[in-house]
A and B are shown apart, each in its own frame.
Chain A
Amino acid sequence: MDFDIPRIPLGDWIESGLDFLTTEFSGVTRAISRGTQAGINLLNDGLMWLPEWALILLVALLCWKVGGRRLAIGALLGLGLIWNLGLWDPMIQTLTLVVIATLIAIVIALPLGILAAISDRFYRVIMPILDFMQTMPAFVYLIPAIPFFGIGSVSGIFATVIFSMPPAIRFTTLGIRQVPKDLIEAADAYGSTRSQKLVKVQLPLSLPTLMGGINQTIMLALSMVVIAAMIGANGLGSEVWRAIQRLRPGEGFEAGIAVVIMAMLLDRLTQSFSGKKKTK
């Protein structure tokens, strides 16, 4: 059966849309690019300025404070291994990208999540968009990042923010909506304004859930930052990327293990933060 239905030029439309955005908003994208790059450099230099052993000790101390002795020992051994493998600098670069991407994602996600919790209409609009953002293969975000921000870390952060933001929005919304109805009623009955209700009741009570969302965002950001090496984001990802191109499985696994260590430390740290808040 050969019906002569013309192929819908979906790709062309998207491309011309992106073209329009890149040409019309080049001033904006360039400003964002400069700002983000400055942030990356600052944080990166700051972390690099500390001697390796000092940073390892600091992290281990933090782990001991919030997560206990076992986590602290894990941090000591894990980070020591990364240092020993000579992957310290790429690890710091990756950490920088994760921290900055997560910060940007949270700054955007928090108000959107709150809005979606308060307004049913906004909730219905944003939920399918979040589904779209999360199910779209992550690599696809890399492509438009390049015309917007060029090859490099900023493009990597752009793709990472888009990819890692949805859980932060979802968990914020969920956390606020989960606040028991009788507490909302109590807040209303005493004459709270909408913002008093939000700041004094809804946000504090949704904090554990919110921290769960942030934990998810950090994990997703870490996975994406590695992939973003394909468009020139520095860090452990580019070590893996180089190992692939040279067919060096050993080096690839070394960098991969470094990513795993980072992921475990970041996960346990953020989890014990949220757990601590809960029992208080």
Chain B
Amino acid sequence: MTDTQQTKIQVRNLSKVFGDDTKKALKLRDEGLNRAQILEKTGQTLGLSNINFDVREGELLVIMGLSGSGKSTLIRCLNRLIEPTEGDIIIGGENIPQLSDKALLHCRRRHFSMVFQNFALFPHRTVQMNAEYGLEIRGIAKAERAEKARNSLKQVGLDGWEHAYPSQLSGGMQQRVGLARALANDSSVLLMDEAFSALDPLIRRDMQQELIELQHRMKKTTIFITHDLDEALNIGDRIILLRDGEIVQIGTPEEVLTNPADDYVARFTEGVDRSRVVTARRVMRPVRATARHDDGPRTVLRKMSENSLDSIYVTDRERKLLGILEAESVEEAAKAGKDTIRDLVVTDFPHVGPEEPLATLYPMFKGKSFPVAVIDDEQRLLGVVVKGAVLEQLAQTGEH
């Protein structure tokens, strides 16, 4: 995620007060009172206070918080299912809170598709007709919308179910219909309100994985609400943490986990499965020495003893990793008076990409003495992960 990415939505100074004297509540807020004090004094609930963030084009942004943190209010303010009290939400040059009813209708149709916690499928419509809904109300011709709906149903793996009614489907399949309805609409932003929270854990995991794949494939800007940090860390490119209607931290999953903004965030991250979040890049160590493929056995042995290594990686001239050498075999070659190590190189050695989570790495250590090499797309050696480093990271779970 680089800063050169285009901004899709800008949210500035967004606040929401539930109650009829919103001005008073906001004034008290500006005087420094907190949510509970304002509720006590005025009977009004400060749902959101001074929210500022950008949504970048093509990212999957997770807004996470416990119930009552204002996350549902926030996502509904974006498409004005809930009227914001003050602030700006700018998308495509339009400021949503200031749109007329008609312009709002237009804006919703063009920019937003929404997926709901309890699916909110229309029970009297078939799967196909549910998927067509957004297009139908926009007045898209029948053939075209049928085609688009079929495509999006295929995307979520529901081809063949077009004529079923939602009540005939399982929860996971129903939410796929919800997703297909959103995708068919071809809007620029996907809003997902606790979309997987009603599903059981196994299906949930599958859906998360599918969403990640779908999102990478389609590059659709997605805002995902959840109360589940594991889910947030698993799917989010970036995470916004909300508490009592305020943002406490914005960052990548790793930033949130390894560098929590305050105790509140730290408490969240307790008990998180770090093995799914911390990546190989984070725990790898630089390689002290490598052998070149045209080195002789004695040179290699000296490199190994100088760096007290049992094994050594072998690279070619372009620093591409070829394999690994074990001390015993090199020593034998040296004793036998050979002048090349080429045929000693073990090419079947554990290696991963830098973004691989520890969960994938851990099983690689079972019964093998080799460390795990971390290599980039061009086969170049970036670093090495030893068993101890992985165990050390996993041991931090729940230490906050």
Contacts and interface: CB of A to CB of B under 8 A. Distances in A.
Task: Tell me, yes or no, whether A binds B.
Answer: yes
Given A205-B123, A205-B124, A186 B105 contact: no
Contact of A190 (B106, B117, B121, B137): B137
Interface residues of B, number: 26
Contacts of B133: 186, 190, 200
Contacts of A182: 116-118, 120
Nearest to A183: B120
Given A191-B105, A191-B106, A186 B120 contact: yes
A280 B133 CA distance: 19
A85 B224 CA distance: 72
B81 A190 contact: no
Contacts of A191: 105-109, 134, 137-138
A196 B124 contact: no
Contacts of B116: 182, 185-186
B113 A190 contact: yes
A192 interface: yes
A148 to B, nearest CB: 41
Interface in B95-123: 105-109, 112-114, 116-118, 120-123
Nearest to A207: B124
Contact of B124 (A180, A186, A193, A204): A204
A201 interface: yes
Contact of B112 (A180, A189, A207): A189
Contacts of A204: 124
Interface residues of A, number: 18
B225 to A, nearest CB: 13
A193 B123 contact: no
Nearest to B138: A191
Given A190-B114, A201-B122, A204-B124, A185 B105 contact: no
B79 interface: yes
Contact of A183 (B105, B122, B136): B122
A15 interface: no
Contacts of B123: 205
Interface in A191-215: 191-193, 196, 200-201, 204-205, 207
Contacts of A45: none
A215 to B, nearest CB: 20
A38 to B, nearest CB: 37
A196 B123 CA distance: 16
Contacts of B191: 189
A193 B104 CA distance: 11
B185 interface: yes
A188 interface: yes
A200 B114 contact: no
B108 A189 contact: yes
A207 to B, nearest CB: 8
Given A183-B120, A196-B137, A205-B123, A189 B81 contact: yes
Interface-central residue, A185, A188, A189, A280, by most chain B CB under 10 Å: A189
Nearest to B82: A185
A157 B325 CA distance: 102
Contacts of B136: 200
Contacts of A205: 122-124
B178 to A, nearest CB: 9
A205 B79 CA distance: 25
B137 A193 contact: yes
Contacts of A196: 137
Contacts of B117: 182
A186 to B, nearest CB: 4
Nearest to B165: A280
Interface string A235-255: 000000000000000000000
Nearest to A192: B137
A180 B116 CA distance: 13
Contacts of B138: 191
Contact of B105 (A193, A200, A201, A207): A193
B49 to A, nearest CB: 24
A73 B42 CA distance: 68
Interface in A131-167: none
Interface in B169-198: 181, 185, 191
A182 B175 CA distance: 14
A190 B120 contact: no
A50 B359 CA distance: 81
Nearest to B79: A189
A185 B81 contact: yes
Contacts of A200: 122, 133, 136-137
Given A183-B120, A189-B191, A193-B105, 14 more contacts: A182-B118, A182-B120, A183-B122, A186-B114, A186-B116, A186-B120, A186-B133, A189-B79, A190-B114, A191-B109, A191-B137, A193-B137, A200-B122, A280-B124
Interface of B: 79, 81, 105-109, 112-114, 116-118, 120-124, 133-134, 136-138, 181, 185, 191
20 contacts: A182-B116, A182-B120, A183-B120, A183-B122, A185-B81, A185-B120, A186-B120, A186-B133, A188-B81, A189-B108, A190-B109, A190-B113, A190-B181, A191-B138, A192-B137, A193-B137, A200-B122, A201-B122, A204-B124, A280-B124
Pick the 8 closest A-B CB pairs, nearest first. Answer: A191-B109, A191-B108, A186-B120, A189-B114, A182-B120, A190-B134, A204-B124, A191-B105
